[in-house]
Structure formats: structure tokens, C-alpha cells
């Protein structure tokens, strides 16, 4: 069955350092890989999308890589700040009729001041 794994349940990073989160998947061939941020008591908020034919995508302090051979995506937050503390979700989607998006469990990121 399809499976998405995010590297750890929780990650503590010192303020100013780069936080790197990992997303691995099996039994799936996504057309898109997405990253979302979720704060407590709120719905997920979209951050970045990367297509299967793209290697890297950047947006301000965020960078996402996508390796379809390794079936892995890395999500980087550079110059991390305490306000970056949240749960980050990896999600996969295909260009199918059903257009379903499948989510990983998420990684709780804590940026320590």
C-alpha cells in the first residue's frame, strides 16, 4: 500500500540554523509533492509544491528538493526563527481523475531561541 514517512515526529533546532525535514514515500508515483505547515488548532496551510520533473524549488527562506529515484523530498528552512515552530506535513498528489492528496504524519519542528 502507499506509504509516506517523515523522518521524525519532532525536531529541535537552534535559532539561526537550517532545519532539514525528510519525506520518503513508497508504492507511489506522484506528479506533485507538496509541503504544508500546520499550527495547533488550525488547518494545514500550503507552503510549496514541486513537480516530478523539478529537482529544487525555493521560496524566501524555504527550499524543497525532490528525488524521484530515491523517492524522497527534503524541506529546508534556513536562518530558522522561533516563529517557524510548527508541524510540517509532506503530501503527494497525482494528476488522476480523483485528484486525491495523501499526507504524511508530519514533523513537529521546535526552533529554540
Footprint on this chain of other proteins (rule: CB under 8 A)? 4, 9, 31-32, 34, 36, 41-46, 49, 89, 91, 93-95, 98-106
Q: How far is the CB of 14 from other proteins (least distance, A)?
A: 25
Task: Select 9 or 15, whichever has its Cβ closest to other proteins.
Answer: 9
HSE-CB at 41 with a 13 A cutoff on CA atoms is 0
Pairing of strands 3-6, 107-112: unpaired
CB of 40 to other proteins, least distance (A): 10
Nearer of residues 100 and 113 to other proteins, judged by Cβ? 100
Residue with cell 523522518: 7
Nearer to other proteins (CB atom), residue 63 or residue 108: 108
CB of 100 to other proteins, least distance (A): 6
Which grid coordinates belong to 69?
529515484
**Set of cell numbers at residue 78:** 534556513
Closer to other proteins by Cβ: residue 61 or 94 = 94
**Grid cell 529544487 in the structure block, residue:** 56
Query: Least distance from C-beta 26 to other proteins, angstroms?
Result: 15
68 exposed, middle or buried (CB, 10 Å; 0-12, 13-18, 19+)? middle
Amino acid at each position: 500500500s502507499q506509504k509516506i514517512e517523515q523522518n521524525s515526529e519532532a525536531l529541535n533546532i537552534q535559532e539561526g540554523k537550517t532545519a532539514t525535514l525528510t519525506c520518503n514515500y513508497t508504492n507511489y508515483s506522484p506528479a506533485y509533492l507538496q509541503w504544508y505547515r500546520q499550527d495547533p488548532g488550525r488547518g494545514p496551510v500550503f507552503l510549496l509544491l514541486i513537480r516530478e520533473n523539478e529537482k529544487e524549488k525555493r521560496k524566501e527562506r524555504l527550499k524543497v528538493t525532490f528525488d524521484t529515484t530515491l523517492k524522497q523530498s527534503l524541506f529546508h528552512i534556513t536562518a530558522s526563527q522561533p516563529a517557524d515552530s510548527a508541524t510540517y506535513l509532506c503530501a503527494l498528489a497525482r494528476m488522476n481523475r480523483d485528484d486525491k492528496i495523501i499526507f504524511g504524519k508530519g514533523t513537529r519542528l521546535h526552533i529554540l531561541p
